[in-house]
């Protein structure tokens, strides 16, 4: 990890990180989604064999497979999943909004009601690792929101099965259907429907570049959460920061992906040097050392600033997926944070706490999208229709608003529909 000095003129260069270059794979993703749309299950079997090297007979996971996963999985993992699920449920239940009505003016009542999306597809990535935690993060909020049908899609393993932990997590979270299909083909199946997989109204969950491209292509046919790229962390620290903890937070984030981004922003040159040395010393002991090395060589940075204000300016411009605050007064620093996906306060709060069990969601915006998106939440699965009702008094109250404005805009039928009620 190189150490660089913060300068206003090099901010654009410093905030650069790995981007999923969707444009490079859009045409390939389009071919896959089009074929699934036209050929349904036949295309899903074909692409699963081509990309996952698995020849399947059935796409849907059976009840027997789910039941056997409980017998196969270590009891301590089941206990961990149950505890994580409990915390995630408690946190996300607090996010449920309330319906409301108010009298806007005499005779005019207006408000907002809450309705769940009827069906949701949760994409669970495979590839370098299995992610039972992502099942919990996507399915539980949807369940709390009241979604009637929750579908999970995830790539099969080489033996044609889904990992036991993933199946147990899906069952604990309350998924209604689980399918052995991944990649752009899974997104297409959820968006358009096939013989085996009925289409959904919204697709959520992270994935690789093909998944991201496919989500962009089907947006409009269905809703999506947000485009998600490689994972990232930014740590803002002053001279009180714990160098060992920071080094391990960087190593933890870098092991996700060769394109993960890890940044330390600090006012302390001594801390910067200590962290740099600790990272270099400990990489060789990490199981995924090759991935970590590649990630840090490409997207690892330590940025030296002259003040906490400069650190915060850069932090807000970077808009990290994960933000760790290790300053003398983390709560005070937090007051000045504008953009971040999920925030971790103090030296005893690693990102891994939020990844697995503190209750907050780990499906988060990346690549600066925290400037405009929030992470996945219960509200991601809700619709909020507005409602209004006018009395005779309310109708009379609005006549000098609706009629003149409608006629000014040339929408005379709008005005007439209002005037007819006035006459009555």
Active site residues: 321-322
Nearest partner of 342 among 328, 327, 353, judged by Cα = 353
Task: Cite the beta strand spans of 309-412 per DSSP E.
Answer: 322-326, 342-345, 382-383, 386-390
Instruction: Show the tokens assigned to 259.
Output: 């394109």
The whole-angstrom separation of Cα 152 and Cα 228 is 18
Please name every residue paired with 4 in a beta bridge, in sequence order, or none if there are none.
303
- For 354, the enclosing helix (H) or strand (E) is helix 351-356
The beta strands (E) that lie in 133-245 are given as: 149-154, 177-180, 202-204, 223-224, 232-237
* Token pair listed for 118: 């009827």
CA distance 79 to 87: 13
Distance of alpha carbon 419 from its chain centroid, rounded? 48
Q: Other C-beta atoms within 10 Å of 274: how many?
A: 17
Going by the DSSP 8-state scheme, the letter that residue 379 receives in this structure is G
User: Could you say which DSSP state residue 61 is in?
Assistant: P
Cα–Cα distance, 412 to 419 (Å, whole number): 10
């Amino acid at each position: 990890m190189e150490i660089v000095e913060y300068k206003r003129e090099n901010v654009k260069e410093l905030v650069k990180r790995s981007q999923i270059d969707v444009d490079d794979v859009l045409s390939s993703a389009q071919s896959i989604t089009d074929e699934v749309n036209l050929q349904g299950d036949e295309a899903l079997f074909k692409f699963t064999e081509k990309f996952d090297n698995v020849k399947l007979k059935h796409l849907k996971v059976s009840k027997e497979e789910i039941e056997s996963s409980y017998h196969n999985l270590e009891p301590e993992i089941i206990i961990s999943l149950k505890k994580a699920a409990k915390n995630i449920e408690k946190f996300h239940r607090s996010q449920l909004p309330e319906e409301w009505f108010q009298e806007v003016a005499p005779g005019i009542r207006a408000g907002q009601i809450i309705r769940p999306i009827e069906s949701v597809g949760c994409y669970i990535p495979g590839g370098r690792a299995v992610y039972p935690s992502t099942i919990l993060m996507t399915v539980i909020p949807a369940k709390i929101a009241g979604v009637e049908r929750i579908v999970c899609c995830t790539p099969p393993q080489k033996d044609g099965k889904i990992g036991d932990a993933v199946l147990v997590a899906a069952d604990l979270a309350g998924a209604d259907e689980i399918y052995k299909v991944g990649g752009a083909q899974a997104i297409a199946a959820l968006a358009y429907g096939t013989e085996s997989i009925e289409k959904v109204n919204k697709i959520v969950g992270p994935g690789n570049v093909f998944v991201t491209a496919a989500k962009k292509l089907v947006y409009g046919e269905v809703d999506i959460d947000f485009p998600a790229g490689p994972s990232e962390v930014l740590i803002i620290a002053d001279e009180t920061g714990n160098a060992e903890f920071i080094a391990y937070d960087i190593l933890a984030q870098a092991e996700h992906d060769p394109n993960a981004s890890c940044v330390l922003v600090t006012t302390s040159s001594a801390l910067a040097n200590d962290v740099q040395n600790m990272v270099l010393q400990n990489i060789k002991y990490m199981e995924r050392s090759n991935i970590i090395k590649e990630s840090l060589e490409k997207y690892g940075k330590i940025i030296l600033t002259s003040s906490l204000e400069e650190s915060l300016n850069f932090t807000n411009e970077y808009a990290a997926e994960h933000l760790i605050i290790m300053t003398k007064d983390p709560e005070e620093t937090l007051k000045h944070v504008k953009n971040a996906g999920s925030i971790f306060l103090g030296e005893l709060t690693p990102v891994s706490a939020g990844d697995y069990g503190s209750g907050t969601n780990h499906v988060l915006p990346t690549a600066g999208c925290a400037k405009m998106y929030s992470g996945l939440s219960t509200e991601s699965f809700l619709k909020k229709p507005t409602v209004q009702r006018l009395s005779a008094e309310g109708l009379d109250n609005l006549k000098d608003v609706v009629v003149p404005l409608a006629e000014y805009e040339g929408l005379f039928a709008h005005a007439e529909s209002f005037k007819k009620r006035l006459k009555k």
